[in-house]
Amino acid sequence: NAGVTQTPKFRILKIGQSMTLQCAQDMNHNYMYWYRQDPGMGLKLIYYSVGAGITDKGEVPNGYNVSRSTTEDFPLRLELAAPSQTSVYFCASSYFPGQGGYGYTFGSGTRLTVV
Amino acid sequence: GNSVTQMEGPVTLSEEAFLTINCTYTATGYPSLFWYVQYPGEGLQLLLKATKADDKGSNKGFEATYRKETTSFHLEKGSVQVSDSAVYFCALSDPLGTSYGKLTFGQGTILTVHP
């Protein structure tokens, strides 16, 4: 049982480069999320998706794009990388959100450095 | 909007000491409340949760009680172990049920337990 799989685990980008962070889950969860974790700042929501073909912005979407062509995959695209995007990125999924109280399943994260 | 405030860290304890990590929140209505734990180099894992006032969540010797009157969800453990060293995040989910499971996180508290 893989859960939520993120690749790559580490990446160094130069300013202006682009890349895609991959996220896949095998639990048939409809809800998927991308968060970034900055030191001492907790986690901030970048984008989320409530099902295949449906995505929406979170708190900090600027500089990122997402797509959700299948239930399993939710890639995060960085265009024109900037030093401010240096962070640890977490993908998460859940079966039933909101007041049902079900928590998320998190991936192990991608540590990205932009130089 | 919703917000979560955790006690400032880091917290350093000796093995078998009593642990309290304070968490207070601001939200309209009755959010679900969570504690997540992040061990070094790993993603976040759900530690415990509570979905209504006066509920007590518990797991692995940790517990937290949902206090509506003080808008708090403090994490406690009677006797910590070295293996409890990690970062602990308090979080809430939107009480209105319209946020598609989006979580609001506190900034995290680093706990280090010495033998």
pLDDT digits 0-9 by tens, A76-112: 999 999 999 999 999 999 876 544 456 688 999 999 9
pLDDT at residue number A99:
43
Average pLDDT value for residue range A11-38: 94
Nearest CA in chain B to A107: B43
Residue B24 CA to residue B66 CA, distance in Å, equals 10
Residue B115 CA to residue B111 CA, distance in Å, equals 13
User: B9 falls in which pLDDT band (50, 70, 90)?
Assistant: confident
Q: Model confidence over A36-62: pLDDT tens digits?
A: 998 777 899 999 998 999 999 999 999
Average pLDDT value for residue range B39-67: 92
Residue found by looking up tokens 């679900």 in the block: B32
Q: Are strands A10-13 and A110-114 parallel, antiparallel or unpaired?
A: parallel
Average pLDDT value for residue range B103-113: 92
State whether A101 and B95 contact (CB < 8 Å): no
pLDDT at residue number A40:
74
User: Which one-letter amino acid corresponds to residue A4?
Assistant: V
Strand, coil or helix: what is B60? coil
Q: Which of B30, B43, B49 sits opposite A107 (nearest CB)?
A: B43
Residue A92 CA to residue B37 CA, distance in Å, equals 14
State whether A50 and B106 contact (CB < 8 Å): no
Of B74, B86, B80, nearest to B61 by C-alpha is: B80
The alpha-carbon gap from B75 to the nearest alpha carbon of chain A, in Å, equals: 17
- For residue B1, pLDDT over 90 is answered with no
| Of A15-24, A27-36, A47-56, highest mean pLDDT | A15-24
State whether B101 and A104 contact (CB < 8 Å): yes
Residue B80 CA to residue B71 CA, distance in Å, equals 25
Per the prediction, chain A carries an average pLDDT of 90
State whether B95 and A99 contact (CB < 8 Å): yes
- The answer to whether B19 and B10 are in contact (CB under 8 A) is no
